[in-house]
Chain A
Amino acid sequence: MSLPAVSTVAAVAPDGRGASTVRRGRRMLGPAQWVAVAVLALLLLAAVAPAVLAPGDPFAIAPTDAFLSPRWGHPLGTDESGRDIYTRVVHGAGTSLVIGVAATAIGIVLALVLGLAAALGGRVVDFGVNRLLEVLFAFPGLLLALLVITVYGPGIVTSTIAVGLATAPGYARIIRAQARSVATAPYVEAAVVLGRSPGRILARHILPNAVLPVIVLVTLGVGQAIVWAAALSYLGLGAEPPAAEWGAMLYAGKNYLATAWWMTFFPGLAIVLAAAATTVLGRALQKRGPR
């Protein structure tokens, strides 16, 4: 870490007086990251103002135009009722992104409560939370989501909550471990020696240092949540046809896979692109390290 020139010069001159060699360069994004940024920007535009990209109505039926392959006027083809796939994929972006972000937010908030309580709440709370997390971990995430939907019925709202619940245990463990290591860090002890109150130490040192690294995971989590929500819709448990939602469109297209591949291919491509873009950006953030 120490630059040779600095430390050897410091041997004669008092080290503190040397001009501080402060390095504050942010690593530039690579081409893959720029593509991911572009994809996400496009998805966000589609979510906020779908009419800009696809002025048509995603539900407009045109039975005579059913099962058209991609062509001029219908760049991604049409489905069994003659609805334009391109328009529906664009309009589906909003639903998918909202589900992905909302599910992750639910998961993170729950994980924060559980993880911080376990890390800082004393031995009894830690024991309780850990056993709860172990029970939740015993079920695969999707199975846990299915359980919630079985109890509360299908639909976009329940499937969002279900995905959020399913992701919470993983985040909670990470936050717990992070908060525990931060809580015993020498700099927290240094704050105690300076006479800071527990509340101030929590707000100033423990929370930021424990939670900021998790933000990176959240970016990765959004992509995963989008895939899970689409999976639930594909199983007929989330958004239901004819909703313009990618998973539901996959479900609708699966019966025509042999004859109308575009009905499943393009919604699937949208899911892959959204998940890949958030993952690529999340990894880039992870590499740069929390600051």
Chain B
Amino acid sequence: MSAEPRPGVPAPEVLVRVEGLRVGFGRRGARRGPAVVDGVSFTVEAGRALAIVGESGSGKSVTARSLVGLAGPGAWTSARALEVGGASVLGPVGADGAGRGLSAAAWRRIRGGEVGLVVQDALVSLDPLRPIGREIGDALRLHTRLSASERRARVLSLLDSGGMPEPASRLHQRSGELSGGLRQRALIASALAASPRLLIADEPTTALDSTVQAQILALLESVREAGTGLLFISHDLAVVSRIADDVLVMRAGRVVESGPVAQVLGDPQHDYTKALLRAVPTGVPRGVPLAWPGAGSGARTAPASAPAVAAARGASTAPRPETAPVLELDGVSKTFGGRLAVVDVTLSLAGGSTLGLVGESGSGKTTLARIALGLTPPDTGSVRLDGRHWAPGSERDRRSRRPLLGAVYQDALSSFDPRLTVRQILADALRGASAPRPLAELLDDVGLAPSIAEARPLELSGGQRQRVSIARALAPSPRVIVLDEPVSALDVSIQAQILDLLDRLQREHGLAYLFISHDLGVVQHMSDTLAVMKDGRIVEHGRSSAVFDRPAHPYTQALLAAAPRLHP
């Protein structure tokens, strides 16, 4: 992954040359809409990987997609140069300076032929009704003159080199019958089918578990090593630091910093790059704020002066006073139709502390959360809340003690009644409190302006929604909050703000958290104790630092090894 061209090797072929790219949407009368990508320049060479990093809305996907004419409906594109495989794809340039784009037929030759595209959600990218063998064969049918049997052999070898187990039997499976990781492999295989020189991968591992993500990244690395150029779009700096040779940091449609990955991530010059790096929670001790404190209009995060950080570090290393357990799960098991979801789990959450629960999708984390919340009755075992029996039992018995236990969900939006405003949602939640606080105070506590009270959740950003969700959980003055993947759907900088907020609320209100996540970095940053879950069982459980430093179970070791880190 060295940045400099290797000595003795001729300069590699330039696959993509982009200069001064501007992309925007819509036309109002004679004038076109504002540019969402403004003045972006880069090149991608054969056998090298360029990563475009940025948050949602930074224009990174639009930039990559304009290379294959898929920027979106109503998009206009202008550039000093926009070349794929040495030929311009700008098409005839109109009077307003915007390229008209290539003809549909010309684009089709490039897509799949010159350039392969892999997107985030393989489930919707593959036709659910067609076997994957046919889906992959399509690219060959369109771009090569192979016979049916040759195509079949090529599809098999593609799946095989893509790390698909038992490729011959997979040919006839449909995308819905494959796991997320296998689907992504099938999609990569179909993108590589016609041997494109360039592969564009738009957040290819974002929806995947970390061990699966590591496999897909290894696959993409082997593709790059075979001489294919890779344009990699991601918001995840850790992933980027692993796979990319060069990196382009985008913000609001502009490039704020670019260069070799070691230089940009190792010695960032721009404040935004620094903020992005700082927001990565992996390895950051508990209590150290993650969010960039620069523009702190009313931000209540601790100032980031060196002494304050040191003080926070000191506070985090000092052992917290052990208090009595507020939430105890004792030998809890749950079976759904013969499938073991949770098997004999015994956990205990001490007051004012965080118990991190980490595991991959399908490991039973969410079922365990629902059992703790008293929403799913366990088959065997019992749950105690604040020293008294909690579940199983009738909801009527639990209702009066519900204010003790709050919940924050991954998908905040769907957890709000779509008809209600923020004010109504929080007023509902405050009704359960013994001593209701003023709404404005509650909003201030989670860092929201009072003006937001009249908005509906649909009108809020992802970070704002999660803040409202936290405010709702906080309203009845609970002792325990169950957080099920609370930051998984958020950009890294918003995630940093939410994690900082949760950390501050915990200290101010003495809250105990059951913090569930698939992201090891987040769990490590947040947790005092840690439980690793696999196939419904807790395979490892102990003090967070001990588990991370000396993982005992092979699965924990595999998880830790698979987690992408910033400085490999």
Please list the residues of chain A having a beta carbon within 8 angstroms of any beta carbon in chain B.
1-8, 10-23, 185-187, 189-197, 204-205, 208-209, 212, 291
Contact = CB atoms under 8 A, between A and B. Distances in A.
A2 B462 contact: yes
Contacts of A205: 417
A4 B472 contact: no
Interface string B419-463: 100000000110010000000000000111101101100111111
Interface string B52-91: 0001111100000000000000000000000000000000
Contacts of A11: 55, 251, 272, 275-276, 292, 491, 493-494
Interface of B: 36, 55-59, 251-253, 271-272, 275-276, 291-292, 294-299, 301, 373, 375, 395, 398-403, 405-407, 409, 411, 414-419, 428-429, 432, 446-449, 451-452, 454-455, 458-464, 467, 472, 476, 491, 493-494, 497
A209 B418 CA distance: 8
A15 B463 contact: yes
Given A2-B57, A16-B464, A194-B432, A22 B459 contact: yes
16 contacts: A4-B36, A7-B462, A8-B251, A10-B461, A12-B271, A12-B294, A12-B493, A16-B447, A16-B464, A186-B409, A190-B407, A190-B472, A193-B375, A193-B405, A193-B406, A197-B399
Contacts of A8: 55, 57-58, 251-252
Nearest to B399: A195
A17 B449 contact: yes
B59 to A, nearest CB: 7
Nearest to B482: A193
A195 B402 contact: yes
Contacts of A18: 461
Given A18-B461, A20-B464, 20 more contacts: A4-B36, A7-B55, A7-B494, A8-B57, A11-B276, A11-B292, A13-B295, A13-B297, A14-B297, A16-B449, A20-B459, A22-B459, A190-B409, A190-B472, A194-B472, A194-B476, A195-B399, A195-B401, A204-B428, A209-B419
Contacts of A23: 459
Nearest to A208: B419
Which of B272, B301, B405, B417 has the most chain A CB atoms inside 10 A of its CB? B417
Contacts of B402: 193-195
B455 A20 contact: yes
Contacts of A212: 419
A197 to B, nearest CB: 7
Most buried by B among A11, A13, A185, A186: A11
Given A187-B414, A191-B428, A16 B419 contact: no
The 7 A-B pairs of least Cβ separation, nearest first, read A195-B402, A4-B57, A15-B463, A16-B448, A11-B493, A16-B447, A13-B295
B451 A19 contact: yes
A144 to B, nearest CB: 35
A12 B463 CA distance: 13
Nearest to B300: A14
B319 to A, nearest CB: 31
A16 B467 contact: yes
A14 B411 CA distance: 20
A186 B415 contact: yes
B417 A209 contact: yes
Contact of B292 (A12, A21, A192): A12
Nearest to A289: B418
Contacts of B452: 16, 20
B459 A14 contact: no
B56 A2 contact: yes
Contacts of B494: 7, 10-11, 15
Contact of A12 (B272, B398, B455): B272
Nearest to B467: A16
B447 A17 contact: yes
Contacts of B398: 195
B345 to A, nearest CB: 20
A193 to B, nearest CB: 5
A197 B461 CA distance: 31
B58 A10 contact: no
Nearest to A192: B375
Contacts of B467: 15-16
Contacts of A189: 375, 415
B463 A16 contact: yes
Contacts of A190: 407, 409, 415-416, 472
Contact of A20 (B252, B417, B447, B451): B451
Nearest to A206: B417
B419 A291 contact: yes
Given A186-B409, A193-B405, A194-B476, A10 B417 contact: no
Nearest to B410: A186
A20 B463 contact: no
A208 B424 CA distance: 15
A15 B447 CA distance: 8
Given A11-B275, A194-B432, A20 B375 contact: no
A25 to B, nearest CB: 12
A191 B417 CA distance: 9
A21 B449 CA distance: 12
Contacts of A185: 414
Contacts of B414: 185-187
Contacts of B451: 19-20
B497 A187 contact: no
B449 A7 contact: no
Given A15-B497, A20-B460, A4 B298 contact: no
B252 A4 contact: yes
A2 B403 CA distance: 32
Contacts of B493: 10-12
B292 A195 contact: no
Nearest to B398: A195
Contacts of B299: 13-14, 17
B365 to A, nearest CB: 16
Contact of B411 (A186, A192, A196): A186
A189 B492 CA distance: 28
A187 B297 contact: no
Given A8-B57, A187-B415, A190-B409, A14 B428 contact: no
Contacts of A204: 417, 428
A4 to B, nearest CB: 3
Contact of B400 (A7, A10, A195): A195
A22 B463 contact: no
Contacts of B462: 2, 7
A5 B35 CA distance: 12
B298 A17 contact: yes
B297 A17 contact: yes
A195 B446 contact: no
A209 B419 CA distance: 8
B428 A194 contact: yes
Contacts of A194: 402-403, 428-429, 432, 472, 476
A93 B271 CA distance: 71
B253 A4 contact: yes
A12 B275 contact: yes
A47 to B, nearest CB: 32
Given A191-B428, A205-B417, A208-B419, A16 B446 contact: yes
A196 B295 CA distance: 40
A193 B253 CA distance: 42
A205 B294 CA distance: 41
B439 to A, nearest CB: 14
B415 to A, nearest CB: 4
A186 B464 CA distance: 18
Contacts of A13: 295-297, 299
Given A7-B56, A12-B292, A12-B295, A195 B275 contact: no
Given A194-B428, A208-B419, A4 B58 contact: yes
